[in-house]
Chain A
Amino acid sequence: MTKPSWFNRLSILFGLAFLYLPIVVLVVYSFNGSKLVTVWGGFSTQWYATVLNNPSIVEGAKVSFLVAAVSATAATILGTLAAVVMVRLRRFRGRALFNGMLLAPMVMPEVVMAVSMLLMFVTLGIDRGPLTITLAHTTFTLCFATVVLQSRLVELDSSLEEAARDLGCPPARAFVSVALPNMIPAIVSAWLLSFTLSLDDLVISSFTTGPGASTLPMKIYSQIKFGVTPEINAISTIILGVVVLGLVGAQLVSRRSEKAERTA
Chain B
Amino acid sequence: MSFVTTTPKKVNWGGRLLIAIPYTWLLVLFLAPFALVAVISLSTVRLGMPPFEPLTAWDGSILSLRLNFENFLYVLTDDTYLLAYLTSLKVAAISTAIMLLIAYPLAYGIASCSPSSRSLLVFLVIVPFWSSMLIRVYSWMSILRNDGLLNALLLKLGLIAEPLRILNTETAIYIGIVYTYLPFMVLPIYSSLASADRTLIEAARDLGCSRVSAFWRVTFPLSLPGVAAGCALVFIPVVGEFVIPDLLGGADTQMIGRAIWLEFFNNRDWPMAAAVTIVLLALLVVPIVYFQSRQSRSRT
Contact = CB atoms under 8 A, between A and B. Distances in A.
A243 B132 contact: yes
A240 B270 CA distance: 35
Contacts of A217: 132, 134
Contacts of A232: 138
A9 B128 CA distance: 20
Contact of B237 (A88, A107, A202): A107
Interface stretch (B61-69, B74-82, B104-112, B220-228): B104-112
Contacts of B261: 111, 203
A251 B132 contact: no
B8 interface: yes
Nearest to B146: A38
B18 A85 contact: yes
Interface in B245-300: 247, 257, 260-261, 264-265, 270, 273-274, 277, 280-281, 284, 287-288, 291-292, 295-296, 299
Nearest to B132: A200
B22 A85 contact: yes
B239 A109 contact: yes
Nearest to A117: B33
B296 A99 contact: yes
Interface in A117-139: 117, 119-120, 122-123, 135-136, 138-139
B292 A199 contact: no
Given A136-B29, A172-B4, A142 B22 contact: yes
B26 A115 contact: no
A90 B261 CA distance: 40
Contact of B30 (A84, A96, A115, A139): A139
A78 interface: yes
B4 A111 contact: no
Contact of A12 (B29, B109, B277): B109
A83 to B, nearest CB: 9
B186 interface: yes
A85 B19 contact: yes
Contact of B123 (A7, A23, A251): A251
Nearest to B240: A109
A113 B112 CA distance: 39
A247 B127 contact: yes
A120 B9 contact: no
Contact of B260 (A111, A139, A174, A202): A111
Interface in A1-34: 1, 3-5, 7-12, 14-16, 18-20, 22-23, 25-26, 29
Contacts, number: 284
Contacts of B21: 78, 81
A25 B182 contact: no
A115 B149 contact: no
Nearest to B247: A224
A98 B19 contact: yes
A25 B109 contact: no
Given A1-B201, A101-B31, A139-B30, A202 B4 contact: no
B3 A172 contact: yes
A139 B236 contact: no
Interface of A: 1, 3-5, 7-12, 14-16, 18-20, 22-23, 25-26, 29, 37-38, 78-79, 81-82, 84-85, 88-92, 94, 96-113, 115-117, 119-120, 122-123, 135-136, 138-139, 142, 150, 154, 161-162, 165, 170-172, 174-175, 193, 196, 199-200, 202-203, 206-207, 217, 220-221, 224, 228, 232-233, 236, 239-240, 243-244, 247, 251
